[in-house]
Structure 1
Amino acid sequence: MCFTSSPLPHANLSQVEFYFSAHNLSTDEHLFFQIDGPDNRTVPIKHIHSFKRMKRFQPYSAVVKALKDSEQLDVVEDGNFRGAGNEGVKRKIPLEIPGWDREKDPDATLEKLFDMLNQHSKNEMGRSIYAKGFGEEHNGQIELEDYFKAFGAVMVRKRRFPDTGEWKGSVFVEFDSEESQAAFLALDPKPKFHGLELEVMDKKAYSKMKCDQKGIIPNWERDNSARRRGGRGQRGGNRGGNRGGRGGRRNDSRSRSPRGSGDEDRDDWKDRRNKFQNKGRWNNRDRDGKGHNKGRRDDRDRDGDRGEKDHGLNRDDGGVPGVADTRKRKVEDGEEKENGSKKAKVEISEDA
């Protein structure tokens, strides 16, 4: 198979269609927020054209012209997108979020919806494979995508070391159907990439194998068990309120309702603060109703005088405070921390 790095006819169209595909949006949080998830907001084509991989497609007008031939996307040229250079683009069919019911959960945040889509994609094992053995010379992202696209692939994700970001030399590939995935795995002889025979296997089998080696349960198996129990422990549920599926990854949580919960949360916070302060004032009063301001400052005694407590100071016979030798205490504390239970917790995670 011949590879080329130069743009092919309609390659600009294919690239933008990929950006707006459900496969990409399940991992592309930035673009997911740009389109407001299932609300399908129009995105300026200028913004899409600024993406690193789009810069090879010039001029800008050629990208707009190609998008007008798309069967998946609409070019918007009215309202705020009127005039040359201001065009926008949107999906013809709004994005669907598996497992989300708009009527039952109309105020779901974008964070929550993205996590639901992302988790569904991760657990979509039936269409995905694991592959390695590409060598070191030909391993560019576009080159890998072009290779697998001939077999029906819709997404190729390079696996990287989380601490360095370097490529592990292997990929996860998602196909357009389970049939395409099965056909690729059944190839005989095995597929070759620039003359190198690839080591390929079903993604679910790979995930199970790695988790068994580490003695942990795969995420997809835990999620399936949670659903069988009635949803306990599922990520992206309502347990976190409107914080999103991972406990509110973003501080700028965007509610999809006309009026977000920000004002209500702010007022509720003020009420809680006032109740807490009033409760504290009441508890600081004695039975006669006189307040002693207990707890206002830790270095005051019951009469409100400062400095009567020694706080660990040694005094001589004349009552003059001296500095105690704490070197031994520091050494003992250090040994206690080193030999005690406060050890770094090692987290074993699924190989991704």
Structure 2
Amino acid sequence: MAEQIEKKVVDLLVDNAENDAADAVVQAAAGLAEKAAEGIVNAVKGPIEEAIEAPVAGEEKESKEESKEESKEESKEESKGESKEDFKEESKEAAPATEEKPAAESKAETKEEPKTEEPAAPAKPKEPVTDAEAPILKQVEFYFSDQNLPTDKFLWKAVHSNDGWVPIHTIASFKRMQQFANPEAEDPLAVIVSALRKSPSLLEVSEDGTKVKRVKALQAPDDKSKDEANARTVYAKGFLPEDKVPTKDTPASELGAPLTREEELALQIEIEKFFEGYGKIVQVRLRRRTEQQNRFKGSVFAEFEKLEDATKFLALDPKPTFQGRELKTMSKPAYCEMKKAELGFTDGANGKRGPRKFNGFKDNESRKRGNDDDDNGDNKRQRGNPRRGRGGRGRGRGGRGRGGRD
């Protein structure tokens, strides 16, 4: 029995010892495992954190592709920007250097401070025309007017020989202009030049003050404008005593000496002032008899600026008088019809014509035709017409033009 009890005690002791040893082993193993785990954690902690922060393989690939695309787009934008800037720089001539700024900033600045062009400096107003200059300007503007220039053969050719410019000393030599020059002055033509510089819009004077030209383009009148001008024009006769009026049958010996240039000029100025008392006048043409040394016939054509003034003048009752003589008046169209009836002319008839009046527009056309014909002159001469193609020179002295310049 005792042996059995001892054996049980020994077995219990052995079992306790084995359990204690196992606990110790377990504890030791746990300690080792804990340390090993700490080491493993410390060893893999860094890579794990990097792995957590880093994108997965697919995302990294997409990120790289997006980065490449962004780089390409930026490169293209920079290239375009540089190309535009290069183009702008090449297009500008002597453009001032400017600081480059981003497009957004530039647009913002443009909106905030829009560029505005500085207004052009106003033209310096011309000085008023003096009393001494007024008749000078009036006369020269008449020379270059629509009414006179195309009929003045001398002035027309002078204008077309030097790009429109005419020497002022040539203008000053005309009979109506000689009174304005001051030969005793240091510059005899100074007052004429000063007057012409004050022309509102018709004339221009060269910088050196030696030439003058018409600024407005001259257009050939159409039928309507001719009819309107004729309607505003009146015929008036009686500006000479009857015994001084030349006729085609009157011997020159019975007429006496013709008026001197000074006497005729004074008479023309007096007639112009007479008509100006009835309205603004465009022109007054003294009619002449060419077969009697181009003497003044005592009758005129006066063109009013307004039709109503011409109508009022013709309606005057009693008729107006000049130097005590009553004038015979009628409209220009009525006068032309009267002369056609007296001479037996009908519309379209070819009656006897006087000297051809100079017409600058027709002269230019004939010269142009002449040049065209000269280009084919050999062919025309072969057809037996050697004279054709020379162009019209115009006959006579251009009575109306000469009258306007005298």
The secondary structure found in structure 2 opposite 1:54 is coil
RMSD: 3.7
- TM (normalized to structure 2)? 0.46
The Cα of 1:182 is off from its aligned counterpart by: 0.8
The secondary structure found in structure 2 opposite 1:23 is coil
| Equivalent residues in 2 for 1:74-89, closer than 5 Å | 74-78=203-207, 83-84=208-209, 86=210, 88-89=211-212
Q: Residue in 2 aligned with 1:129?
A: 234
Return closer, same or farther for 1:50/1:150 CA change in 2, 3 Å cut-off: same
- Separation in structure 2 between the aligned mates of residue 200 and residue 272 of structure 1, nearest angstrom: 51
The Cα of 1:186 is off from its aligned counterpart by: 1.9
- Residues 83-125 of structure 1 deviation map (CA, whole Å, 9 limit, x = unaligned): 35x2x222232212124xxxxxxxxxxxxxxxx9xx9758842
Percent identity, aligned pairs only, is 38
- TM (normalized to structure 1)? 0.52
Matched, 1:10 2:134: yes
Q: Contact between 1:73 and 1:89, CA under 8 Å: does it hold in 2?
A: no
2:313 to 184, 191, 199: 184
Q: Residue in 1 aligned with 2:274?
A: 147
Return closer, same or farther for 1:265/1:153 CA change in 2, 3 Å cut-off: same
1:90 to 204, 209, 213: 213
Q: Residue in 2 aligned with 1:269?
A: 377
**Structure 2 counterpart of 1:200, which letter?**
T
Structure having the higher Rg: 2
For these two proteins, the number of residue pairs brought into alignment is 215
- Separation in structure 2 between the aligned mates of residue 27 and residue 55 of structure 1, nearest angstrom: 21
The Cα of 1:12 is off from its aligned counterpart by: 1.0
- Residues 116-140 of structure 1 deviation map (CA, whole Å, 9 limit, x = unaligned): 9xx9758842011111122349862
- Separation in structure 1 between the aligned mates of residue 205 and residue 240 of structure 2, nearest angstrom: 43
- Residues 281-336 of structure 1 deviation map (CA, whole Å, 9 limit, x = unaligned): xxxxxxxxxxxxxxxxxxxxxxxxxxxxxxxxxxxxxxxxxxxxxxxxxxxxxxxx
**Structure 2 counterpart of 1:166, which letter?**
R
Matched, 1:61 2:190: yes
Any stretches of 5+ residues in structure 1 without a counterpart?
1-6, 100-115, 223-235, 237-242, 277-352
The Cα of 1:23 is off from its aligned counterpart by: 1.5
Q: Contact between 2:237 and 2:327, CA under 8 Å: does it hold in 1?
A: yes
Could you list the runs of 4 or more consecutive aligned residues of structure 1 that deviate by over 3 angstroms after TM superposition?
Answer: 119-124, 135-139, 243-248, 264-267, 271-276
Matched, 1:194 2:326: no
The Cα of 1:204 is off from its aligned counterpart by: 1.0
**Structure 1 counterpart of 2:377, which letter?**
W
- Separation in structure 2 between the aligned mates of residue 159 and residue 43 of structure 1, nearest angstrom: 27
- Separation in structure 2 between the aligned mates of residue 144 and residue 179 of structure 1, nearest angstrom: 20
Return closer, same or farther for 1:57/1:218 CA change in 2, 3 Å cut-off: farther
Q: Contact between 1:208 and 1:218, CA under 8 Å: does it hold in 2?
A: no
Matched, 1:19 2:143: yes
- Separation in structure 1 between the aligned mates of residue 383 and residue 345 of structure 2, nearest angstrom: 45
Q: Residue in 1 aligned with 2:164?
A: 41
**Structure 1 counterpart of 2:235, which letter?**
Y
**Structure 2 counterpart of 1:128, which letter?**
T
The Cα of 1:75 is off from its aligned counterpart by: 2.8
- Separation in structure 2 between the aligned mates of residue 11 and residue 187 of structure 1, nearest angstrom: 29
The Cα of 1:247 is off from its aligned counterpart by: 9.2
1:215 to 341, 344, 348: 344
- Residues 236-281 of structure 1 deviation map (CA, whole Å, 9 limit, x = unaligned): 9xxxxxx946994xxxx3x4xxxx974x6445223455688xxxxx
